Structure 1
Amino acid sequence: MTPFGFSTPGKTLFGRGRADEVCGHVQGFGTRVLLVRGRSVDRVDDIARELVQTGAALKTVFAEGEPTVAQVNQVVAVGRARKAQTVLAIGGGSVIDLGKAAAALIPSDSGLMDHLEVVGAGRPLTAQPLPLVAVPTTAGTGAEMTRNAVISVPDASLKVSLRDDRMYPTLAIVDPSLTDNAPRHVTVSSGLDAVTQVIEPFLSCRANPLTDALCQSAIVMGLQALATLMRREDPDARDALSYVSMISGVALANAGLGAVHGLAGVIGGKTNLAHGMICANLLGPTLDVNFQRVKADGSDLSRYDFLRQTISDIFDGWGDQNFTALSDAFDLQGVPGMDAILADQTQANALIQDALRSSSMKANPVHLTEADALTILQNSLPR
């Protein structure tokens, strides 16, 4: 058996009602609290009030979309000025990434660009991050379980990571009730991101026995939950999708991702499309190209056979079609397509070259060529 390592956050709490425990845990890390949050979940207002009532010196900052270099620098400056002792991040993946970046940099005497990959110096952190409590309100990115924060760099039209083994949250609290009644398009796009993030590690060239055990059951659970939530609101399906999202973070942190995220990271840096929506469009075409390449190499197809059978069992009518037809099975109603991606061939070529150099591509099950990447993009467009 090939040797491997396995890492997770310091502690994880999962289940309905666990959000009621947030304040007690946060106060255990210090009374000067920096709250990084989104605006869409009313429950966060209750948590903020409870923190103040129980003696916390609370400073709240609102995340605005996906974190940029400028926003990270602004939040870090606020945290340093307030001498924050702990960071509480409550929201979607972008909010948690902003919180992770803030917790990582507030104690440091260096700046973000000293540590960013690709566009920065990529150096390790110079100080231990502040304690971070991460509480997701969407079921998609699994950011509460990872050791990196994805940052948008508008000047370079890229999204890159701030990454360090010490950036795992000190505590992740996953309460599925915070995702109840999310809009359908958010549920589908973020849910497909979560499913993609258990499929890609399952197929990854870095897969290991622990990630395999987690991913195989999570793939089935995630697809079943999505099939249900496309039709109706269902608390059990919300629970399942939150679990899958949590597992997806563990899986990608330990086995890597693949071409869907290699392309999605670059596309996200060059467009205003949300990450989950990009993954939703890329998943089927990427699976199909990878399958064809693995088949041509004469390699083991059992993992693709498992995916094909699982999809056929859950989505009536999908049958034995190619993976590109997943878009039809998922019925991406309300999920914007990527019609403009190939409008400019020069831009498309540059996008492909950037994607092939991305860290996610290194875990893809096969080495993809520029022609392979172009095929994926072409097949992701509306037919």
Structure 2
Amino acid sequence: MIYSFSTARVVFGIGSRAGVATHASHLGRRCLLVTGSRPERCDWLLEELKDVMDDVLCVAVGGEPETGFISAQAEAARQASCDVVVAIGGGSVIDAGKALAALVANTGDLFDYLEVVGRGTPLEHEPLPMVAVPTTAGTGSEVTANAVLLSPAHGVKASLRAPNLIPALAIVDPELAVSLPSAQTAASGMDALTQLMECFVSHAASPLTDPLCRDGLTRAARSLRVAVRDGASLRARSDMALASLFSGMALANAKLGAVHGFAAPLGGMLGAAHGEICAALLPHVMEANIRVLRHVAPEHPALARYDEVGRLLTGMEAACAEDGLEFARSLCSDLGIRGLGALGLTEEVMEEVVEKASRASSMHGNPIVLDKGELLGILRRAMDEGSSAK
């Protein structure tokens, strides 16, 4: 087998945010600063960038980055001659930054490059260099090669994807997540855990991604509850920042699975937080995968990996796949994860969700093909109030 691995240059540690402006000034002189919906929280960074840059253009991203918004902001950044991007915020903000870095340098229509709902053609030119500064611990977007965008016209989230979309530099300061509310900590942390698990059991897992998944799952298992309960715990925040970072590195070099296959259309249709959708689905996708694998492919290597997931999550040497499943159910219950019904899913749209999910790129990473009946069953079980329902 031949394996490859790509990632950003990473600076990790408490206080590392102090170097963002200096690092960015080495990559360009006219900065596009991408923030969340409350840009005043990043005034400290804006002032530091103004001290070292010739010019700074600010873009605030409220909610999921939509295709029309991204196209318009890319044109504005192009007119301002921006040559470097700094994105500080959660996964949506960093995804917006990556998409803007690509579209400032590539002048085709966004849908020329977008997967699933667009043509998916390769970028003609290198994206602008980018510095990604996550303030949550979930998506690992600071080291991934895709930008997830919402297309309102299609009611789905789709990726702009290219190997060179990985940011030039990721600065990960766990202290930036200390003020994150407990509900967002829970949802984003469950996204990280889900990504680590899906990459680990994916058919595209490799010896280059496996150590990241093993370490990340261990950290998330021991620290997610703590981070939700005590957001000021820097040890827990550091564990979750690393779990998220490792999940991004893994998914950029392996594949995801059915949870994220469903999350793409559900995110566009429900408008709920991505991490909350993933959390509601995770135990039910695990259960279906384990059951179908045992029934149709009992020697499949993914079953041994699910057994290892059980050991990593519980810390018990004799744990099996079902123990990992029970851990996930218990964790969702403890974190107050709501079912998909509470997030807005109805029986009437399930067939549409399954049809869209079947076309999602992430679904193709699932360790085994799940038929329509299994996929509908997952959605129905995940609708129940609380993901601990069996």
The count of aligned residue pairs is: 377
Q: Which amino acid aligns with 2:126?
A: Q
Q: Which amino acid aligns with 2:329?
A: S
Query: Residue 339 of structure 1 corresponds to which residue in structure 2?
Result: 341
* Pairwise CA distance, 1:343: 2.6
Q: Which moved more, 1:145-154 or 1:333-342?
A: 333-342
Query: Residue 93 of structure 2 corresponds to which residue in structure 1?
Result: 95
Q: 2:181 aligns with which of 180, 183, 186?
A: 183
* Pairwise CA distance, 1:307: 2.1
Q: Cα–Cα, structure 1 residues 80 and 124, in superposed 2: closer, same or farther, change >3 Å?
A: same
Query: Residue 228 of structure 1 corresponds to which residue in structure 2?
Result: 226
Contact between 1:66 and 1:152, CA under 8 Å: does it hold in 2?
yes
* Pairwise CA distance, 1:218: 1.1
* Pairwise CA distance, 1:53: 2.5
Q: 2:74 aligns with which of 73, 76, 79?
A: 76
Query: Residue 43 of structure 2 corresponds to which residue in structure 1?
Result: 45
Query: Residue 190 of structure 2 corresponds to which residue in structure 1?
Result: 192
* Pairwise CA distance, 1:313: 4.0
Q: Cα–Cα, structure 1 residues 320 and 146, in superposed 2: closer, same or farther, change >3 Å?
A: closer
- Output one character per residue of 1:153-180: Cα deviation in whole Å (capped at 9) or x when no partner: 1111111011111111011111111001
Q: How far apart are the structure 2 equivalents of 1:326 and 1:379?
A: 15
Q: Cα–Cα, structure 1 residues 324 and 281, in superposed 2: closer, same or farther, change >3 Å?
A: farther
1:237-248 → structure 2 map (5 Å cutoff): 237-248=236-247
Q: How far apart are the structure 2 equivalents of 1:66 and 1:3?
A: 36
Q: How far apart are the structure 1 equivalents of 2:276 and 2:17?
A: 27
Q: How far apart are the structure 2 equivalents of 1:138 and 1:321?
A: 28
Query: Residue 279 of structure 1 corresponds to which residue in structure 2?
Result: 278
Query: Residue 5 of structure 1 corresponds to which residue in structure 2?
Result: 4
Query: Residue 64 of structure 2 corresponds to which residue in structure 1?
Result: 66
Query: Residue 267 of structure 1 corresponds to which residue in structure 2?
Result: 266
Contact between 1:113 and 1:119, CA under 8 Å: does it hold in 2?
yes
* Pairwise CA distance, 1:311: 3.4
Q: Which amino acid aligns with 1:348?
A: M
Query: Residue 139 of structure 1 corresponds to which residue in structure 2?
Result: 137
* Pairwise CA distance, 1:109: 2.6
Unaligned runs of 5+ in 1: none
Helix, strand or coil: the match of 2:225? helix
* Pairwise CA distance, 1:90: 0.6
Contact between 1:33 and 1:88, CA under 8 Å: does it hold in 2?
yes
Q: How far apart are the structure 1 equivalents of 2:352 and 2:244?
A: 31
Q: Cα–Cα, structure 1 residues 342 and 40, in superposed 2: closer, same or farther, change >3 Å?
A: closer
Q: How far apart are the structure 1 equivalents of 2:371 and 2:263?
A: 16
The yes-or-no answer on 1:252 pairing with 2:251 is yes
Helix, strand or coil: the match of 2:114? coil
Q: Which amino acid aligns with 2:371?
A: T
- Output one character per residue of 1:350-376: Cα deviation in whole Å (capped at 9) or x when no partner: 110111121101110001111111121
Q: How far apart are the structure 2 equivalents of 1:106 and 1:56?
A: 18
Contact between 1:131 and 1:170, CA under 8 Å: does it hold in 2?
yes
Q: How far apart are the structure 2 equivalents of 1:268 and 1:201?
A: 20
* Pairwise CA distance, 1:84: 0.3
The yes-or-no answer on 1:170 pairing with 2:172 is no
The yes-or-no answer on 1:29 pairing with 2:32 is no
* Pairwise CA distance, 1:326: 2.7
- Output one character per residue of 1:234-273: Cα deviation in whole Å (capped at 9) or x when no partner: 1101001001101101101111100000001111111110
Q: How far apart are the structure 2 equivalents of 1:109 and 1:310?
A: 46
Q: How far apart are the structure 2 equivalents of 1:37 and 1:375?
A: 39
* Pairwise CA distance, 1:222: 1.0
Q: Cα–Cα, structure 1 residues 55 and 231, in superposed 2: closer, same or farther, change >3 Å?
A: closer
Q: How far apart are the structure 1 equivalents of 2:345 and 2:132?
A: 37
Q: 1:356 aligns with which of 351, 355, 358?
A: 358
**Equivalent pairs: percent with the same residue?**
39
Helix, strand or coil: the match of 2:100? helix
Contact between 2:34 and 2:97, CA under 8 Å: does it hold in 1?
yes
Query: Residue 122 of structure 1 corresponds to which residue in structure 2?
Result: 120
* Pairwise CA distance, 1:142: 0.4
- Supply the RMSD in Å over aligned alpha carbons: 2.0
Q: Cα–Cα, structure 1 residues 320 and 121, in superposed 2: closer, same or farther, change >3 Å?
A: closer
* Pairwise CA distance, 1:312: 3.5
Contact between 2:137 and 2:241, CA under 8 Å: does it hold in 1?
yes
Unaligned runs of 5+ in 2: none
Q: TM (normalized to structure 1)?
A: 0.93
- Output one character per residue of 1:128-169: Cα deviation in whole Å (capped at 9) or x when no partner: 111111111100000010111001011111110111111110
Q: Which amino acid aligns with 1:105?
A: L
Q: TM (normalized to structure 2)?
A: 0.92
The yes-or-no answer on 1:295 pairing with 2:294 is yes
Query: Residue 372 of structure 2 corresponds to which residue in structure 1?
Result: 370
Contact between 2:306 and 2:324, CA under 8 Å: does it hold in 1?
no
Q: Which amino acid aligns with 2:361?
A: S
Helix, strand or coil: the match of 2:116? coil
* Pairwise CA distance, 1:55: 4.1
Helix, strand or coil: the match of 1:160? strand
Q: Which amino acid aligns with 1:137?
A: T
Contact between 1:324 and 1:379, CA under 8 Å: does it hold in 2?
no
Q: Which amino acid aligns with 1:376?
A: I
